[in-house]
Amino acid sequence: MTRKPTFLPWFIIPATFTALGLVVAMFAVMQFSVRAYIPGSLDVGGFTLANFNGLFKKIYADAFINTVLLSAKTAIFGLLMSYPLAYALVRTRTTWIKSTLLIIAITPLFLGEVVRTYSWIIVLGNSGFLNSVLLAIGIIHKPIQFMFTQTGVVVALVHVTMPIMVMMLATALSHINPDYEKAATSLGAGPIRTLLTVTIPLSLPGIVSSLTTAFAWTFSAFATPQLIGGGRVSTVATMVYQLGFSSMNFPFAAALSIAGLLLTILLLMVLKRMSRFLHAIGEH
């Protein structure tokens, strides 16, 4: 008779309580989203759907569009930066190089998002490291405005998402048999053609997974858009903050949160359908 492990409940019980807490919190947000806002008071009024009608105003529609574009740019540029690093991490045979690449890839995970964001403020400021170097070597004659722009926000968000993307891509690449690449080379394919026709197609599952994770993560990002964007780069998360903690309009902030969650789920469903097609390509 097989005996069940006695330690299993110690893993299940905390997870169950955490899940219940998340469900309760979600129901609280949903309840706030259909309550009327009372100006000047933290109390809410009766049930109403007016909060969702207000989401169609241009300022909030622009926030949704900016969030989608920001998430897409971060995912794409993160992939372009992470794939070579992941490939080198998997394919290198030198121990110290592999260790160095691994440290470079995962070190940002040991720093909080706020700390990393403040570091980028020092780098991207008009008197920051990047502009100082470009001015010193004569490439530019006046500082480039990185702060309070979408470009600066994307740069910082790519740095935030890269460690996870590198790990996911490295996992996918490690499952590719190097003999496939050697076979392509023996048939006359050069390094670039081998990469485009063998390595990338076989690593498509990891590419899709990393893009989806980076997109979903960026969609809900708050600290980086708020600090680097300085209120000039509007996203769903920053709008929720402004409505909830600046205007105290918690019902409308809740409605905006629910709309953002639904949009995220919809976009992830679209990406999932695309991933099935790409997985089929990768298998062939």
Q: Torsions phi, psi of 137, nearest 5?
A: -95, 5
Question: What are the tokens at 263?
Answer: 């949009």
Task: Quote the pLDDT of residue 86.
Answer: 92
Do residues 255 and 33 touch, judged by C-beta distance below 8 A? yes
Helix, coil or strand: residue 231: coil
In sequence order, what E strands does the chain have? 35-37, 44-47
In a domain, 34, yes or no: no
- Model confidence pTM above 0.75: yes
Task: Quote the pLDDT of residue 169.
Answer: 93
In a domain, 47, yes or no: no
In a domain, 39, yes or no: no
Task: Quote the pLDDT of residue 83.
Answer: 94
Length of the chain equals 284
Question: What are the tokens at 16?
Answer: 């169950």
In a domain, 17, yes or no: no
Cα dihedral 220, 224, 226, 231 in deg (nearest 10): -110
**What gap in Å lies between CA 172 and CA 86, rounded to an integer?**
9
- Per the structure, how many domains does the chain have? 1
In a domain, 52, yes or no: no
Task: Quote the pLDDT of residue 241.
Answer: 87
What DSSP character marks residue 85? H
Domain that holds residue 101: 57-283
In a domain, 257, yes or no: yes
Task: Quote the pLDDT of residue 234.
Answer: 87
Question: What are the tokens at 29?
Answer: 């947000």
Write out the chain's pLDDT in tens, 284 residues: 456 566 667 778 888 888 898 888 888 888 888 888 888 777 787 888 888 888 888 888 899 999 999 999 999 999 999 999 999 998 888 888 888 888 888 888 888 888 888 889 999 988 889 999 999 998 888 898 999 999 999 999 999 899 999 999 999 898 888 888 888 888 888 888 888 888 888 888 888 889 888 998 898 888 899 999 888 888 998 998 888 877 788 888 889 989 888 888 888 788 777 766 666 655 55
CATH number of the domain residue 171 falls in: 1.10.3720.10
Helix axis angle, 204-219 to 250-283, nearest 10°: 170
In a domain, 176, yes or no: yes
β-partners of residue 44 are 37
The DSSP-derived string for 179-208 is HHHHHHHHTT--HHHHIIIIIHHHTHHHHH
**What gap in Å lies between CA 180 and CA 244, rounded to an integer?**
55
Contacts of 121 (CB under 8 A, 6+ apart): 128, 147, 227, 228
In a domain, 115, yes or no: yes
